[in-house]
Each structure stands twice: as C-alpha cells, then as structure tokens.
Structure 1
Amino acid sequence: MSTSSNVRFEDWEAEQMRDPEFRAAAEELEPAYQVARLRIMRGLTQEQLAALVGTKQPSIARLESGKVEPKLSFLRRVVEALGARLEVRIVPLEGRKTG
C-alpha cells in the first residue's frame, strides 16, 4: 500500500496488522497505540490534543511512544479529551492459585 497522505488510516492500520511483528508491537504498546489511533481518527495533532488536555505536546508524544507509564489520572484526562472512556480491568490468570 502506498504511503501517500491520501491513504485512510483504517486501511493503513489493517495492512500493518497483517504483519505479525507489527501486531505484536501494537499489542505490547496497546494503551499508547490506542491513544495515538484515536487521536488520528479524531483528526487531531498531538499539539491540539495537548491543548485539550491542558498539557504540552511533548507529554502527548511521550505517552504515544509507549516508553513511559503514565499516571492513570493523566491517561484518563487524555482519553476523556478524545471523547472516550478509560477502563481498567483486573483479570485473574487461569490455573493460578493465590494465597
């Protein structure tokens, strides 16, 4: 697929997800990937999102890089600015005993 700016994000993403390495990396960075994906889908730049959140663009870039673990309060503000809801779930591992 072309790297032209006329390519829809959804089409680019679908093509990339066929690559097992890309899929694994996306899953590892899931929260960061979801924020970047939603921002792009909303047609916002990092700077525009930062303004909505009340922070600076480098904070959004660090979040989207997946190299930092943001505070839940910051992540919640970002997600809400994107018109979404943050959900945190605890899921027990199967076959694992506690205590």
Structure 2
Amino acid sequence: MDLLSRKYAIQVICVIGTRGPSRYNEIEAAFGDVSSSTLSVRLDELTEAELLIREQYAEIPPRVEYDLTAEGIELCELLLPLLQWVEKRNQNKT
C-alpha cells in the first residue's frame, strides 16, 4: 500500500493500463510535469513490486517497454473508476 501512495504510482498503472505496452517517453508525455528521476524511480519500484514488466529489446537504438503484469491489470481495473470519479469531480468544480 505504501507504494501506491507515492506520487504518480497510481497514474503510471492507469496510463500503461489504458495505452498498453509503453515506452518511457510515452509515459512521461502523459504527465507533463513529472521529473525524470521521479518517474524512473516509480517505474523501477512498480517493476520490483511485480505490477509492471520491463522488457528491453536488443535493438539499436535500444528500446525498453513497460507493460502491466496480471496483478497490475487487476489493480488498474480497480483504480480506473476511482480516477474517473476524481476527473468528473474536478470538472464539476470548474
């Protein structure tokens, strides 16, 4: 639970869950204001927690993609309604 309370953890799960396998730059572009170090640490933590899979391809230039594990998919399905509620609530305040 501690990991999910960290900045951007829930959003990273949901971004990858809605986009499918994603490269670092694609994930970063979804946030705009996230620092590279914060995003890198969060991706590493989520991978270590076995919520993400990090796949590195033997290509030039190197290519790395992140995708959800089975547990990550389950978590994403539970989180999406919460994020939709937050978004709807924020729209009603404007």
TM normalised by structure 1 equals: 0.28
Between structures 1 and 2, the one with greater helix share: 2
Larger Rg, first or second structure (1 or 2) = 1
* Higher strand proportion (structure 1 or 2): 2
Structure of higher RCO (CA pairs closer than 8 Å, 6+ residues apart): 2
